[in-house]
Amino acid sequence: MTPGPLLFARYAYPPNALGLCGAEESRTLLEYGTANESDEGLAELAQAFEGAWPYLVLIAGANGIRDPLDARVVEAYWVGNDLLDRVSAHALERHVEDRFKGRVGRSWERIVDAVAAGAVPHHTFHVFAVYPWLGLLRTGDTAQPLSVLDRCRITPALVETTEADSVTVLAPVLRWDGHALRLGPWERRHARFEDDGLRFVRPKAGDWVSLHWDFVCDTLTDVQAAALLRANEQALTAVNRSSGPAHVLG
């Protein structure tokens, strides 16, 4: 298995390159990826991601794993595995309460509802239940918030063709019907796997890959692709069963 710090870098790079989270070290992350190396310096960079890092600590603690950057923990948060099922709803509620209750005001109860409805500490839970974009779907102009949610979530995708630094893939599209978020049909989309000659993986036609902000983070096994799709669906189900995604952080 890919070392945990390097696996973390693969998924953290796309939003970091956009300036959305972490220290301004996106090229460093890619350099580690191209060299396929992992060391203490990369582990330190991971701790600068204030959105993701506390979830790793939560998952590790619930599973009796000392290192939050253990590859199994990192995989659980970004892709999904059985470690997530060992984090109790009470522990997740306490976690989000400590981090977010003071920031979201009256919307706090709806995040708790999502936890009670079966959410687990996967990246998709943070995207759909905690990020403010979901509430913006109430405004009527849904194109931008829906696009952000769709690209911010991590999705499995099947590579159809490859080019010099990009791929054409099939991936499920996020849809909003005015009341709930759903995964729609699988559609073609374009994604990069290389920036400035640097990359984490070089996918080929027929590969399963994971996309984050339209960047190829990793190649996946069939089992991992299924787990990632299941994590997306589980988060959507939990949010839709709460007070409704049209009201979360609204």
Which pLDDT belongs to residue 105? 62
Task: Tell me the pLDDT of the chain averaged across its residues.
Answer: 90
Average pLDDT over every residue of 103-120: 80
Q: CB of 196 within 8 A of CB of 238?
A: no
Q: CB of 30 within 8 A of CB of 13?
A: yes
Which pLDDT belongs to residue 131? 73
**pTM given for the model:** 0.92
Which pLDDT belongs to residue 59? 98
Average pLDDT over every residue of 148-177: 96
Confidence of residue 132 (pLDDT cuts 50, 70, 90): low
Q: CB of 226 within 8 A of CB of 172?
A: no
pLDDT at 244 over 90: no
pLDDT at 196 over 50: yes
Which pLDDT belongs to residue 46? 94
pLDDT at 248 over 50: no
Give the list of residues 6+ apart from residue 142 with CB closer than 8 angstroms, or none. Answer: 136, 176
Which pLDDT belongs to residue 111? 83
For residues 236 and 187, what is the distance between their CA atoms, to the nearest angstrom?
19
AA identity, residue 59: I
Q: CB of 217 within 8 A of CB of 209?
A: yes
Which pLDDT belongs to residue 77? 98
Higher pLDDT, 239 or 75: 75
Which pLDDT belongs to residue 245? 42
